[in-house]
Amino acid sequence: MAQQAPVPVRYLTVLYDRDCPVCVHIRNWLGRQRQSVPLRLVPAASAQAWRRFPKLAHAQTLREITVVGDQGQVWRGTDAFIMCLWALAEYRAKAEWLATPAGRPFARAAMHTAAAVRHAVRTKSEAEPGEPACDDHCPAPR
């Protein structure tokens, strides 16, 4: 039986935490890069995200980066990070290497570092009254 060719990805939607300074900085950086695959940057758990992806676990999109492909594919965490780089013209080769067994530990380390920075910049004053700083939005070890 002949194997079907994969359907090309026409665009990716990146769900980011609009209340996180690190996430907003990365969102802005992604928007300035030359994109081989267009990125649609949408605040996680927003009304727009709920309308576009009603079956997505939206609370989880606030805890870890989530990328949704135009055919409904979903990538989270390290895989989502790699997909963001893959969409960028200048970083595609790096993303392909990060997706290999040799590169994957580096991708995980980058995600862990970003989570630690995210945890450090979210202060108690940014949290809702009565909630701990960062709450469940930051997966960095405490």
Which helix (H) or strand (E) segment is 69 a member of?
Answer: strand 66-69
64 and 22 in contact (C-beta within 8 Å)? no
**In the chain, count of helices (H) and strands (E)?**
6, 4
* pTM score of the predicted model: 0.80
38 and 89 in contact (C-beta within 8 Å)? no
* DSSP output for 83-118: HHHHTBGGGHHHHHHHTSTTTHHHHHHHHHHHHHHH
* DSSP output for 70-84: TTS-EEEHHHHHHHH
How far apart, in whole angstroms, are the C-alpha atoms of residue 86 and residue 84?
5
Q: What is the mean pLDDT of the chain?
A: 85
> Within 10 Å of residue 60's Cβ, how many Cβ atoms?
16
pLDDT tens per residue, range 41-84: 999 999 999 999 999 999 999 888 999 999 999 999 999 999 99
Average pLDDT over residues 93-117: 93
